[in-house]
Amino acid sequence: METLHTIGILYLFVGIVSFLFLLFDIVVKKQRQAMSIMNIVWPITGLYLGIIAIILYKKWGKAKHETSHMDHMHIDMSMPNSMKMSVNNVNFKTTALSTMHCGSGCTLGDAISEPLMLVFPITIVSNAMYNKWLIQFAFAFVIGILFQYFAIKQMQPKLPFSKIILKALKADTLSLIFWQIGMYGGMAIAKTILPIHSMQPTTTIYWFCMQIAMILGFCTAFPINYWLLKKGVKEPM
């Protein structure tokens, strides 16, 4: 367990440093993203993808590289064949960005709900693990839909609030569910094979397992995001 504890500390350190690096670059160095919500998404992604998030950010996330894409996106959305053009723009990059966007809402929801449940215990069902999952899903779902709302609002500013919410629900519900399936599956496996005392929210190993579970969530949400983009249900980021 000491080895796992050490690995956990190291990876948590990498995640926090990656988060701070991305936050510093975006906020202090003013590398603001053309899609505003991505200013939040990139640092959160750093928490679980670590150095990989920094590499992807340097490759995809610099604002100067995103501007032309956003300009085309605004043009595409005003054209009759916008759906076809968006579908043709689906690739590894757009799918990964869409998955990161979804995952950031889930990650933030889980990170907020975990300490709140320690301070304010709420019981919905008797099984402790299922009870935690239900509460985490509620937080992740609300924040995830909120993230999607801001993305759609920026792309289609004239759309009424109710229609944006409906589009957000349609675009992100499946994605959020598939992300949480991967995350819950990872945490369930960890709880099965690791000692109970090491899987408490106050331990390093627990949060390291949460990071790995988020990566699994990314993997399970990636295919459904590709499908949603291909079907035109979601717009590429």
Contact 138, 125 (CB under 8 A): no
How far is Cα of residue 120 from the mean position of the Cα atoms in its chain?
A: 25
Give every CB contact of residue 137 below 8 A, 6+ residues apart in sequence: 180
The pLDDT value recorded for residue 69 is: 47
Read off the pLDDT of residues 2-46 as tens digits, 9 standing for 90 and up. 899 999 999 999 999 999 999 999 999 988 898 999 999 999 999
User: Where exactly are the structural domains of the chain?
Assistant: 68-230
What sign for the dihedral angle of Cα 220, 221, 225, 228?
positive
The pLDDT value recorded for residue 62 is: 76
Quote the CA–CA distance of 206 and 64 in Å, as a whole number: 38
The pLDDT value recorded for residue 99 is: 97
Read off the pLDDT of residues 98-138 as tens digits, 9 standing for 90 and up. 999 999 999 999 889 988 988 888 889 988 889 999 999 99
DSSP code for 197: G
How far is Cα of residue 47 from the mean position of the Cα atoms in its chain?
A: 10
119: exposed, middle or buried (Cβ count in 10 Å: 0-12, 13-18, 19+)? exposed
At 87, the pLDDT band (50, 70, 90 cuts) reads: low
